[in-house]
Amino acid sequence: MRALVFDCDGVLADTERYGHLPAFNATFAAFGLPVEWSPEEYGEKLRIGGGKERMATLFADPELVRAQGLPTDPGAQRELLQEWHRHKTAVYKQIVQSGQLPPRPGIARVVGEALAAGWSLAVASTSAEEAVRAVLEHAVGAEQARRFVVVAGDDVPRKKPDPAVYTLAVEQLGARPQDALAVEDSRNGLLAAVGAGLRCVVTVSGYTAEEDMSEAALVLTSLGDPGEPAEVLANRSAARPGATIELEDLEACL
């Protein structure tokens, strides 16, 4: 059985800059926090896996904690993070449902081809499950989205680059790691996938184009669609892709 396991953010849609970042900033404003991450600053935050974990960096600023009366007790911090993150996820879902985040080229096409060929599909993401499902449904349609296994950040004890999310996704699909191909956009995700024994194709995003992807079988600008061709940045596989990445190209990466 062949399996295809997608990351969510930056892979299904360009969600980081145009979805998560404004949702984080809107949440900070809603809670009266004098914090607004710039696109450049958020790029640094992306080195940390998980939204709650990125928000938790605010507690590392003693001046902000003191000025805003933020808790110093770890238990109270966790409770406040949960509250912040629930609000952020609701804002993010509104952005997704508004149609402001079009799917990345090739996603809906490749998903349709894979399902028709009998592949099993999953999403393995460190984001909240409801946010992942919202993006997935928007990217591939409700009917196809129902055929995915979704493993999200709260399902595993450690976030990427730890391989736990991919290990669990493959287990839930009933597949072997050597028969599963990951599609990622970041080095953290790539390391998580290969750490779980999967081969990996990378479609770089705006925040990850300069990262080291040397462990990837294939590195691309996207999966490509007619009128939106993919560019091959590195190929360490048996695939011979053209302007659009076909299912046979992905299978060759295994």
**Of 9, 14, 225, 249, which residue is the catalytic one?**
9
State yes or no: is 14 an active-site residue: no
Domain ranges, ordered by start, for the chain: 3-14+101-252, 16-97
The reported pTM is: 0.87
Please state which CATH number belongs to domain 3-14+101-252.
Answer: 3.40.50.1000
pLDDT tens digits, the chain, 254 residues: what are they? 899 999 999 999 989 888 999 999 999 999 999 999 999 999 999 989 889 999 999 999 999 999 999 999 999 999 999 999 999 999 998 998 888 888 999 999 999 999 999 999 999 998 889 889 999 999 999 999 999 999 998 899 999 999 999 999 999 999 999 999 999 999 999 999 999 999 999 999 988 999 999 999 999 999 999 999 999 999 999 999 999 999 999 999 99
Helix (H, G, I), strand (E, B) or coil at 240: coil
Q: Catalytic residue at 7?
A: yes
Query: What per-residue confidence (pLDDT) applies to 92?
Result: 92
Q: What are the helix (H) ranges across the chain?
A: 15, 21-30, 39-45, 51-55, 62-68, 74-97, 107-116, 129-140, 142-145, 164-173, 187-195, 247-252
Which CATH number does 16-97 carry?
A: 1.10.150.240
Buried b (16+ CB within 10 A) or exposed e, 113-150: bbbeeebbbbbbbbbbbebbbbbbbbbbeeebbeebbb
Report pLDDT for 117: 98
